């Protein structure tokens, strides 16, 4: 008797199959249409893999893994290039935390620039006024490559780059203090390549669309415009996206160092901070080998899950998060989900739920409880337990984390 597959296969007319790890979780019809469009591109290799947190995205579906041969789709990577997670386990225990966590949250909010100020509102709250030495040191490892890129693409010069390094951003980005299943304290954060990554992403998405028009490509969706190897801007995009992914990784490292230094000022008990540490992207592209071929793998809202590799799958505000170990499943291109996945838009969430709902859902978590954070608590997302069950052949759970402090962007 053949073993039952843990994924569904959708056959796409005129395209490659779509393999979906979505048993027991909802998938919108619009997301399925978007996935079918991606599967019809002539550059897509073997099949498209879909994670259980899948939902409609701008450009490409969030929760998708798209393998391409000798080509990259900039809009599939998106504009928050290198967005991802970092988590660090400490030697602190639950009993070492103060009873009142309010001052700890306030200290983190003061120490880590977060949020977003429109340009007409004066200084940007989400940027450094004067970057501290740690930020300057990290920027020094990135600046030469950035300047070389900006020479080729002057639009990148006037971006938030140095002053956004080590900052959180807005939307669903967060900094958390969590407890694991045996009471150890973890620090966790979610951020990407900030203002500069956004400009790099948008710039090359526009260039790819122009390239498609010039080559009269008949695309199922204009957002799926791609650069082929040898095209005018292919090499520049590979350099730009690789640099933005490095920036994002450094951004999280700097923020984590700043977070740990801030906690040490509030909690005087000495502690070690990187007993276990994970830093992983979930919006990115890189060359990998799958099914005997070298291909570009674009994970848009998906995490690498090679055998033995650690990853982070955060739940939403008020839910659990997971540190996972990859099982190296070749059918998913060795990937897993990047979170729970939205079931409704931010606009719909604000109409459906009240601050009272959010206060109830985040009981026991020291966090903001106001109208602007209604969009990120767990009733707005898929059930994280169902999402984890749907990918039991992709990852195994190593640690289960529950947040006790959350700072939102």
Distance CA 280, CA 164 (A): 19
**Residue 169 neighbours by CB distance under 10 Å:** 25
Question: How far is Cα 366 from Cα 102, in angstroms, rounded to an integer?
Answer: 6
Nearest to 179 by CA among 168, 188, 170: 188
279 forms beta bridges with: 86
Residue pair 303/338 in contact (Cβ under 8 Å)? The answer is: yes
Query: 306: closest CA among 267, 345, 280?
Result: 280
Selecting among 164, 203, 281, 338, the annotated active-site residue is 338
Tokens of 282: 């979930």
Count CB-CB contacts under 10 A for residue 89: 22
Say whether 164 is catalytic. Answer: no
Measure the CA–CA gap between 340 and 392, rounded to whole angstroms.
Answer: 14
CA distance 375 to 313: 19
Find the distance separating the first CA and the last CA of the chain, reported in whole Å.
Answer: 51
Quote the DSSP letter at residue 5: P
Spatial CB neighbours of 394, under 8 Å, sequence gap ≥ 6: 21, 305, 326, 327, 329, 332, 335, 336, 337
Question: How far is residue 94's CA from residue 366's CA, in Å, rounded to a whole number?
Answer: 14
CA-only gyration radius of the chain, Å: 21
- Using CA atoms, how far residue 13 sits from 16, 17, 40, 61, in Å, is 8, 9, 8, 19
CA angle 83, 199, 31 (to 5 degrees): 55
Distance of CA 377 to the CA centre of its chain: 17
Q: Which positions are catalytic? A: 338
């Amino acid at each position: 008797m053949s073993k039952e597959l843990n994924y569904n296969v959708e056959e796409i007319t005129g395209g490659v199959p779509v393999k979906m790890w979505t048993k027991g979780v909802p998938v919108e019809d619009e997301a399925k249409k978007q996935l079918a469009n991606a599967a019809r591109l002539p550059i897509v290799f073997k099949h498209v893999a879909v994670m259980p947190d899948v939902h409609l995205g701008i450009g490409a579906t969030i929760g998708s893994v798209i393998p391409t041969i000798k080509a990259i789709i900039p809009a599939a990577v998106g504009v928050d290039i290198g967005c991802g997670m970092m988590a660090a386990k400490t030697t602190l225990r639950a009993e070492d935390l103060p009873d009142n966590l309010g001052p700890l949250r306030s200290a983190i909010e003061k120490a880590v620039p977060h949020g977003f100020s429109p340009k007409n509102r004066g200084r940007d709250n989400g940027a450094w006024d004067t970057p501290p030495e740690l930020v300057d040191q990290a920027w020094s490892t990135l600046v030469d490559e950035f300047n070389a890129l900006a020479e080729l693409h002057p639009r990148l010069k006037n971006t938030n780059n140095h002053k956004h390094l080590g900052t959180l951003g807005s939307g669903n980005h967060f900094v958390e203090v969590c407890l694991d299943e045996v009471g150890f304290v973890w620090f966790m954060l979610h951020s990407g390549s900030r203002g500069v990554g956004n400009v790099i992403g948008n710039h090359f998405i526009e260039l790819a669309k122009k390239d498609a028009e010039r080559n009269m490509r008949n695309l199922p969706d204009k957002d799926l415009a791609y650069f082929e190897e040898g095209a005018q801007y292919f090499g520049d995009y590979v350099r730009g996206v690789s640099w933005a992914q490095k920036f994002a990784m450094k951004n999280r490292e700097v923020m984590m160092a700043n977070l740990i230094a801030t906690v040490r000022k509030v909690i005087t008990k000495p502690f070690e901070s990187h007993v276990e540490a994970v830093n992983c992207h979930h919006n990115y592209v890189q060359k990998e080998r799958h099914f005997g071929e070298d291909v570009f793998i674009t994970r848009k809202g998906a995490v690498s899950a090679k055998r033995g590799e650690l990853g982070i799958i955060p739940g939403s505000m008020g839910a659990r998060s997971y540190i996972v170990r990859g099982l190296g499943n070749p059918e998913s291109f060795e990937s897993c989900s990047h979170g729970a996945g939205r079931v409704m838009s931010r606009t719909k969430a604000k109409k459906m739920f009240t601050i009272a709902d959010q206060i109830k859902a985040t009981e026991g978590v020291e966090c903001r409880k106001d109208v602007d954070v209604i969009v990120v608590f767990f009733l707005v997302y898929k059930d994280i337990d169902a999402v984890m069950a749907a990918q039991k052949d992709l990852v195994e759970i190593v640690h289960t984390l529950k947040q006790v402090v959350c700072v939102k962007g």
